[in-house]
Chains A and B, each alone.
Chain A
Amino acid sequence: MNKFLRTLIPFDIAKGMAITGKHFCKVFFTANRRKVPFHIVSEYPEVVAKVQPRYRGRLTLLKDEQGEIKCVCCLACEKICPTQVITIEKGKKEGRKMPYPVRYDFEMERCIFCEFCVESCGFDSIILNHQFELATYNREDFSLGMEGLSQNMFEPSPVGKFSVADD
Chain B
Amino acid sequence: MFKNEEMEINLGPQHPSTHGVLRVKLRLDGETITHCKPVIGYLHRGVEKICENQTFFQGQVWTDRMDYCSAVANNLGWAEANEKLFGITVPRRAQYIRTLLNEFNRLASHLIWLATHALDIGAMTVFLYAFREREDILDMNEAFCGSRLTTTAFRIGGLREDLPPGFEKMARKFLAKFPTCLEEYENLLSENRIWKKRTVGVAMLSAEDAIALGVTGPVLRAAGVPYDIRKAFPYAAYAEMDFEVPTQTAADTYARYLVRMAEMRQSARIIQQCLDGMPEGPVMAKIPKILKPEVNEVYHATEAPKGEIGYYLVGEKGSTNPYRFHVRAPGFINLQSLPKMAEGGLIADIVAAIGTLDIVLGEIDR
Contacts and interface: CB of A to CB of B under 8 A. Distances in A.
Contacts, number: 64
Contacts of B147: 55-56, 113
Given A20-B125, A52-B139, A53-B164, A115 B146 contact: yes
Contact of A54 (B129, B146, B192): B146
Interface string B127-164: 00100100100010011111100101000000011001
A16 to B, nearest CB: 5
A19 B184 contact: yes
Contact of A40 (B54, B135, B143): B135
B193 A12 contact: yes
Nearest to A53: B164
Contacts of B161: 54
Interface residues of B, number: 27
Contacts of B184: 19
B297 to A, nearest CB: 23
Given A12-B192, A40-B135, A52 B142 contact: yes
Given A16-B188, A19-B184, A114-B152, A82 B142 contact: no
Given A54-B146, A54-B164, A56-B147, A16 B125 contact: yes
Nearest to B155: A119
Interface in B19-59: 54, 57-58
A87 B125 CA distance: 49
Contacts of B164: 52-54
A111 B145 CA distance: 17
Contacts of A164: none
A52 B187 contact: no
A116 interface: yes
A19 B145 contact: no
A23 B125 CA distance: 11
B49 to A, nearest CB: 14
A90 to B, nearest CB: 21
B146 A10 contact: no
Interface of B: 54, 57-58, 61-62, 125, 129, 132, 135, 139, 142-147, 150, 152, 160-161, 164, 184, 187-188, 191-193
10 contacts: A11-B191, A16-B192, A19-B187, A51-B142, A53-B164, A54-B164, A56-B147, A82-B61, A113-B150, A114-B150
